[in-house]
Amino acid sequence: MPGENLSRDEARERAALLSVEEYEVSLDLRSAVGGTDAEPRTFRSVTTIRFRSAEPGATSFADLIAPSVTAVSLNGRDLDPGAVFDGSRVLLEDLAEDNELVVDAQCAYSRTGEGMHRFVDPEDGEVYLYTQYEPADSRRVFANFEQPDLKAPFRFEVRAPEGWVVWSNGVGELVDGVWKFAGTKPISTYITAFVAGPYHYVTDSYERLLDDGTRLEIPLGALCRKGLARHFDADDVFLVTKQGLDFFHDHFDYPYPFGKYDQAFVPEYNLGAMENPGCVTFREEYIFRGNVTRASYERRANVILHEMAHMWFGDLVTMVWWDDLWLKESFADFMGTFSMVEATRFTDGWVTFANNRKAWAYRADQLPSTHPITADIRDLEDAKLNFDGITYAKGAAVLKQLVAYAGRDAFLEGARRYFKRHAYGNTRLGDLLAVLEETSGRDMAAWSRSWLQTAGVNSLTPQVLLDAQGRVAELTVLQEAAESHPELRPHRVAVGLYRREGADGSEGSGGALVRYARAEVDVDGPRTVVGELAGADAPELVLVNDDDLTYCKIRFDEGSLDTLRAQLGDITDPLARALCWSALWNLTRDALMPARDFIGLVLRFAGRESDIGVLQVLHAWANTALTFYVAPEWRATGGRLLAEGALRELRSAAPGSQHQLTWARFFAAVASSEADLLVLQELLEGTAAAKIDGLDVDQELRWAFLEPLAAHGVADEGVLAAELARDDTASGKRHQVRCLAARPSAAVKAQAWAVVVESDSLSNALVEATIDGFAQASQRGLAAPYASKYFEVIERVWEERSIQIGMDVVRGLFPSLQDSQGTLDLADGWLAGRGEAAPALRRLVVEARDDLARALRGQACDVGAGG
């Protein structure tokens, strides 16, 4: 990654010097088709930038990453490309007050999902293009000033192969063989976009009568590859889109500002989605090729609404620099769930948020690399890594608390003022806090210091004292913090008391655990008494942070923990139950509960879980506990118990239900014995012996069954080739590549390692698939030789490959399955001896090393449990 890392200081200097008036960009994409891929394939990019300089005579630079530059002119002077272009920057000397820069370049098509990505569909040979820029890859497509605070209007034109359609941020039309697009409002470079190719395109429209009596009309479009058209449920995409537009218009009092609203589902996408105004891009896996559960549709709806929220938080008003990335991502993450719960059919979205999204935040906030929500982002590599669980999920959780702290009406009124005051501009933390202080009357500076400008997660534990009559004499909430981040924060929490129905002698089933008392309290400092609950009947379960109002780790008193061990499945409220599961998982990760105990709870109570999203998370946690946290000598026993339990639940689930499908996938994930693998084979073959009524073994489920069969040597290369012939699609190819790399052979592992580490022949999607197949929990011995090799090659990989591929390799190939002190020593040795390594690379290694150390602590706890 040579010479491409723009620093914050450089960006500040350039923003103080330059202001951009407009861009005109002309691309010729006809080279996307025809010819061969023997040589790097390029396209012509001609950019004209009109800009002002505050200091005539000054020197600056434009950004461009391209194989070659044909011509450069500045204010009519032809410059020598060889003298002013170094591969990533164009030197601009002796600037005038008013300037015009023209750069004619040959830019490269990408195979890494960065810049202009080119994909050839193996199913029909068609070529599809799309762009992905965040944080700084538009410079791979056209020359620009690549930083968020140098906004400008853009005018684009594109020459494309005959028969193609091209989409961009503005409305386009084909004029004399050239796609010409309406000019944009002032936007940042990273949210400009192109999508081009023979895509399947569906249209609709959204209309709304605004308060001033005018009618707002927004053309809607949704597109995907032709090969996915038969699976594309565009009607549901449009339904959620319209519901979201209604919600945001109702609450933001600022009409959608970017004209049309296209949503493109594109192949080999690195992210979930990207908020390009007027041309949002999504990973095409949100088009479901097979049966999926309600949780998958909920996840897609959440992403659609997350990106829509960005049209205001991020696109209309944009952060000055990536330090304040939370100003867009935290808000979009919060508003995605907020709007989904209130405007769509997914009314239980806060359950998913509490159980799933916040788990991402808790993990990130306990890593050595944790950072305040408002982070210190020194350069673009830092920015790339900061799209993390703190910026997204912790930020969203803190905003959820802010709504409770400031009040819903004050929060939304603050947002409305923020949009109107800063439309098409750039902001910092103080700009948002100012309007929230106006509308709420609260001291936002103090709140910000505690929640946005410090790192770490607090733990809240109840302490219950009973009087002689068995009533609550005093209930106290104890707050703790890690030594590394000792900040104790103010929390607005609800404390719920639970007991069995009928436990007080009244009528009831005597089984269900229900809440009979609740109090809200401001927790501040190490010890807070909840006076309102004094005199209440003795609880069987005390749930701190009931209703999930704050961001914290929940702990339990011993009596509550005993109740959960016996009656977790009896909690009737799905949010309360999800919060308890999340708390138990945190106890497991923190080595305060043996991992085998957590697995035992999953085996006992997961079959009663009604929320399908929670169930899927429980399966993932149980598998993680088995792979990393149980004592090594108990792994075989734990795996057998999980497989038996999964098969039992699969056979007893309602035919054709989403629970049946979820248990089928989990059974495949934990199957390892000959008997388990035989069941998978029989399900694939459709034999009567393994038939499970209602289970549709569609193509996606077939691949899910084939991976464990491949990993255990049952499905060989011929079987996988036959399956690819059955599913000769881009999705099928990814599945096949993952299964091929999963086979239990030293030669297979050597080949997988070489094609990822020593070669750049694979696309981003196939790199990811190969890495996924390489790391198999059942193949620790086969992967062992690569532990030391990993530390020998990662610095070279980081220097030679794009940052996306570098991240994939460094994260994905870390030897986490070699769970021993020896591997920790290798990591520590590398960190000690590589003081000059790129900070972003060091961060990735530090994080992986910390996960490994946590796993070893968990195993030590579990050994103690096993006697």
User: Strands, DSSP E only, in 765-818?
Assistant: none
Q: Which residues have C-beta within 8 Å of that of residue 723, sequence separation ≥ 6?
A: 702, 703, 706, 732, 735, 736
Which residues sit opposite 195 in a β-bridge?
Answer: 130, 167
Using CB atoms within 10 A of its CB, is residue 226 exposed (0-12), middle (13-18) or buried (19+)? middle
- In the structure encoding, which two tokens stand for residue 750, read together? 């050597």
8 A C-beta contact, residue 146 and residue 189? yes
Q: What is the distance between the alpha carbons of residues 701 and 662, in angstroms, rounded to a whole number? A: 10
Which residues sit opposite 115 in a β-bridge?
Answer: 132
Radius of gyration of the chain (CA): 28
8 A C-beta contact, residue 858 and residue 589? yes
DSSP string, 53-72: ESSTT--EEEE---SEEEEE
Going from the C-alpha of 50 to that of each of 21, 27, 133, 154, 194, the distances in angstroms are 5, 18, 22, 11, 22
- In the structure encoding, which two tokens stand for residue 136, read together? 């700084």
Beta strands at 459-466 and 553-554: parallel, antiparallel or unpaired: parallel
Phi-psi category of residue 73: left, alpha or beta, with phi > 0 → left and psi -120 to 50 → alpha? beta
DSSP structure class, residue 818: S
- In the structure encoding, which two tokens stand for residue 677, read together? 């693998």
Number of C-beta neighbours around residue 104 at 10 A: 18
Q: What is the distance between the alpha carbons of residues 592 and 580, in angstroms, rounded to a whole number? A: 15
3-state secondary structure of 614: helix
Residue 229: name the closest of 260, 265, 204 by CA. 265
- In the structure encoding, which two tokens stand for residue 457, read together? 């997660």
Residue 375: name the closest of 357, 392, 356 by CA. 392
Q: What is the distance between the alpha carbons of residues 155 and 157, in angstroms, rounded to a whole number? A: 7
Sign of the CA dihedral 760, 761, 763, 764?
A: negative
Which residues sit opposite 91 in a β-bridge?
Answer: 61
- Give φ, ψ of 737 to 5 degrees: -60, -40
Q: What is the distance between the alpha carbons of residues 135 and 146, in angstroms, rounded to a whole number? A: 9
8 A C-beta contact, residue 554 and residue 460? yes
Q: What is the distance between the alpha carbons of residues 174 and 157, in angstroms, rounded to a whole number? A: 10
Sign of the CA dihedral 303, 307, 312, 317?
A: positive
User: Tokens 């589902």 sit at which residue?
Assistant: 265
Going from the C-alpha of 596 to that of each of 633, 672, 701, 778, the distances in angstroms are 12, 18, 28, 18
Q: What is the distance between the alpha carbons of residues 278 and 300, in angstroms, rounded to a whole number? A: 18
Q: Which residues are catalytic?
A: 307
Phi-psi category of residue 144: left, alpha or beta, with phi > 0 → left and psi -120 to 50 → alpha? beta
How many residues would you count in the chain? 867
The torsion of the CA quartet 117, 121, 127, 133, rounded to 10 degrees, works out to -20
- In the structure encoding, which two tokens stand for residue 446, read together? 């103090």
Element spanning 810, H or E: helix 803-812
Element spanning 250, H or E: helix 234-252
